[in-house]
Amino acid sequence: MELLKKIESKQAKLGVIGLGYVGLPLAVEFARAGFGVIGYDVDERKVKALMAGNSYIPDVPSEHLAEVVKNGKFVATTDPKRLGEVDIIDICVPTPLRKTKDPDMTYIVQAVDATAAVVKKGQLIILESTTYPGTTVEVVQPTIAAKGLKPGVDFYLAFSPERVDPGNPKYQTKNIPKVVGGINEDSTRAAVAFYSQVMDTVVPVSSPSVAEMVKLLENTFRAVNIGLVNELAQMCHRMNLDVWEVIDAAKTKPFGFMPFYPGPGLGGHCIPIDPHYLSWKARQYNFEARFIELAGVVNSGMPEFVVHRVSDALNSQKKSLNGSRVHVIGVAYKRDVNDLRESPALEILELLDKAGAIVSYTDPYFPNFKHAHLDLKSVDEKKMHQHADCGVIVTDHKVFDYPAMVKNFKLLVDTRNALKGISNPGIFRL
């Protein structure tokens, strides 16, 4: 196979569609390994920033990006025709949900159409976007084959689920095992050879559908277990028990238990969304994923539970939620990332506002943001307590001074156990 020789000699050129949290780290990692990489994105602002050597993804240091831009190994563009220059196309576009909770395949379809417009014999096409089992074979393959190319012979096709964990200092692109499933043996072999040039471990599976299901299982596993501890947190609240103490004690068991932790709700692109992809696909087979959907109900109700806890805190001071000033501390979907996607903080702010509270927030990663009719600016951390009746820790960024919060706020609702070990009558936990 000519492509294998190109990959092994690093003469193969890579095209990455979508330069976000998945695509950009992948592109820069391969460029740093010596491959020529063309990154394609429709966002002109992103492309300009990248070509100036400025990374907008925390996991990609600007110095690494600037290095591969300067030596010519990485080029960003808004011109999809440039994908015709590459040997491998890796699709890393978002896969959101529609309002009906059905998969929105718009970005995948657009990326596949862009690929089909420039496809040539001998190319390897890989889909990394999280999606339902069957997408690679049912959506990608027919579109490319319609160009007169025989799948698995004239072009190679595989699915490899992204496993990005933004902000994780230990596990990043290179050392996270890469699952790969091709439409035939040659496709799998080409994809394994490609990823093996950068990734420490590559795990081949029998088909794209298996690889697609792997990703959904991973995140559904997390969603269901988080749903369990979120329900346990509400139960412990009724019983006047500290759920965090319960979990800490339970995790001392050296077998048969894995700790998960409650929180204000699910956030990010994957965990709140992927179980819906799985449930949607299951319904096509007349199968109701009751366990998964129940976890979704519990998790989606956590922002409302947080607002109830804020109300409880204010009631302890004989204050009403209506008219009180409530300050949200951290709005990113997780600690130490600049990502708002599906963040529970957004719904919490909206619910507080609807209840009549006067809302404000502090987050060093977001100087300002708009959501629904809210248009807010981040308050300086040193001043955030000055006019607040209650603070709510929604995202526990490491940069926050938690002892100072306890000292300055009259009331604090802690949804992340950020104040672990601190005893104070003004602290209210989940």
Supply the DSSP string of 122-136, one letter for each residue: T-EEEE-S---TTHI
Closest CA to 366 of 344, 338, 394: 338
Q: Burial-class residue 79 by CB neighbours within 10 Å (0-12, 13-18, 19+).
A: exposed
Bridge partners of 392, per DSSP, are 328, 413
Distance of alpha carbon 219 from alpha carbon 130, whole angstroms: 10
- The first and second tokens of residue 200, run together, are 């420490």
Could you identify the residue written with the tokens 């490491």? 398
Residue 158 makes CB contacts below 8 A (sequence gap 6+) with 124, 125, 126, 127, 136, 180, 181, 182, 183, 187, 188, 190, 191, 208, 211
DSSP 232-266: HHHHHHHHT--HHHHHHHHTTSSSS-------S--
Q: Which CATH superfamily hosts domain 223-429?
A: NAD(P)-binding Rossmann-like Domain (3.40.50.720)
Domain boundaries, the chain: 2-206, 223-429
Q: Are 360 and 384 in contact (CB under 8 A)?
A: yes
189, 202 contact by CB (below 8 A) = no
pLDDT tens digit at each of 430 positions of the chain:
899 999 999 999 999 999 999 999 999 999 999 999 999 999 999 999 999 999 999 889 999 999 999 999 999 999 999 999 999 999 999 988 887 778 889 999 999 999 999 999 999 999 999 999 999 999 999 999 999 999 999 999 999 999 988 888 889 888 999 999 999 999 999 999 999 999 999 999 999 999 999 999 999 999 999 999 999 999 999 999 999 999 999 999 999 999 999 999 998 877 888 888 889 999 999 999 999 999 999 999 999 999 999 999 999 999 999 999 999 999 999 999 998 989 999 999 999 999 999 999 999 999 998 988 999 999 999 999 999 999 999 999 999 999 999 999 999 999 999 999 998 999 999 8
Long-range contacts from 97-100, C-beta under 8 angstroms, 24+ separation = 97/273, 97/276, 97/277
Question: Of these residues, 92, 236, 270, 390, which one is catalytic?
Answer: 270
Q: Please check whether residue 359 is in contact with residue 349, taking contact to mean a CB–CB distance below 8 angstroms.
A: yes
Residue 95's CB: how many other CB atoms inside 10 A?
21
- At residue 248, the pLDDT reads 97
Q: How far is CA 396 from CA 353, 363, 384, 416, 417, in A?
A: 22, 10, 15, 7, 8
- Note the pLDDT tens digit of each residue in 79-103: 999 999 999 999 999 988 887 778 8
The pLDDT score that the predictor gives to residue 271 is 81
Dump the DSSP string for 352-381. Answer: HHHTT-EEEEE-TT-SEEEETTEEEEPPPG
Q: What percent of the chain is modeled with pLDDT above 90?
A: 87
Which CATH code is given to the segment(s) 2-206? 3.40.50.720
For position 351, what pLDDT does the model report? 97
pLDDT for 132: 93
277 CA to centre of own chain: 15
Contacts of 407 (CB under 8 A, 6+ apart): none
Question: Residue 318: its pLDDT value, please?
Answer: 96
Radius of gyration over alpha carbons of the chain, in Å? 24
Q: What pLDDT was estimated at residue 273?
A: 85
What is the model's pLDDT at position 67? Answer: 97
CA dist., res. 367 & res. 355, Å (int):
25
Q: Decide if 261 contacts 247 (C-beta within 8 A).
A: yes
**Among 115, 91, 113, which residue's Cα sits nearest to residue 16?**
91
* Residue 92 is a catalytic residue: no
Torsion sign across C-alpha atoms 236, 237, 242, 244: positive
User: 319-354 burial string, b = 16+ CB within 10 Å, else e?
Assistant: bebeebebbbbbbbbbbbbebbbbbbbbbbbbbbbe
Q: Report pLDDT for 101.
A: 79
Query: Residue 29: what residue type?
Result: E
State the Cα–Cα distance between residues 94 and 298, nearest whole angstrom.
Answer: 25
Q: In angstroms, rounded to a whole number, what is the distance separating the alpha carbons of residues 114 and 127?
A: 13
pLDDT of residue 182: 98
